Amino acid sequence: MAAKTAAKKSSKKLAPKAQKNSSVQPAVLPEGADSLKVTTTTGSKICKPFVLEVMVFAPASGFKIEVKVEKSCTPEADPIWKIVFDLFKKKAGGDGFDQLVHASFTGATPVQQKGIEATAANGITDKQADVIVNEAGPAVLDLKDASSMTPEQLETTKQEVKAASAKVAEFAL
């Protein structure tokens, strides 16, 4: 019992203190998650992860979406290509932005994976930009209300983001 009490006291000392007047909560990893990812870069296959911002646009007044291409790696050094949409809202005070949504699409087919990879190498084409602005953007913007959507509405909106993301990937080829 004394050991439990000592452990509780010592864990309290290590917990980060919340800043006064701060709306940002410290990130907490899910139980069992590892905070360090190690990718082997030796051997016959090499994979180096990165994130590349490829586009920024305003889907509505007071909002912006950053579009990124992300390469992560499996433990076997195989690449995993993703298109990421981060939605931000301008702060009420006018200084900076708060992030509202992070939507990440992983290419589900070899064609989509190659398309996302090509986007990282060549940038966004006009055809891709049209899909991002006219299809993905409005769907990602709708996700700002995800917490008040019904499960059906949320699933429909997620499917819209997935469909637009798949088009973006495929239009790169």
Rounded Cα–Cα distance for residues 110 and 100 (Å): 30
> How far apart, in whole angstroms, are the C-alpha atoms of residue 103 and residue 97?
17
Model pLDDT for residues 102-153, shown as the tens digit of each residue: 999 999 999 999 999 999 999 999 999 999 999 999 999 999 999 999 999 9
pTM of the entire predicted model: 0.75
The answer to whether 48 touches 34, Cβ cutoff 8 Å, is: no
pLDDT for 94 = 75
Assign 32 a pLDDT band (cuts: 50, 70, 90): confident
Q: At what angle do helices 151-170 and 110-122 cross, to 10 degrees?
A: 70
Q: Give percent of the chain above pLDDT 70.
A: 79
pLDDT of residue 34: 74
Q: Where are the domains of the chain?
A: 45-170
Task: Please determine, for residue 70, whether its predicted confidence score (pLDDT) is greater than 90.
Answer: yes
What is the overall mean pLDDT for the chain? 85
Q: Which of 97, 86, 94, 84 is nearest to 24 (CA)?
A: 97
Please say if the pLDDT value at position 63 is more than 60. Answer: yes
Gap between the Cα atoms of 137 and 140, Å rounded: 5
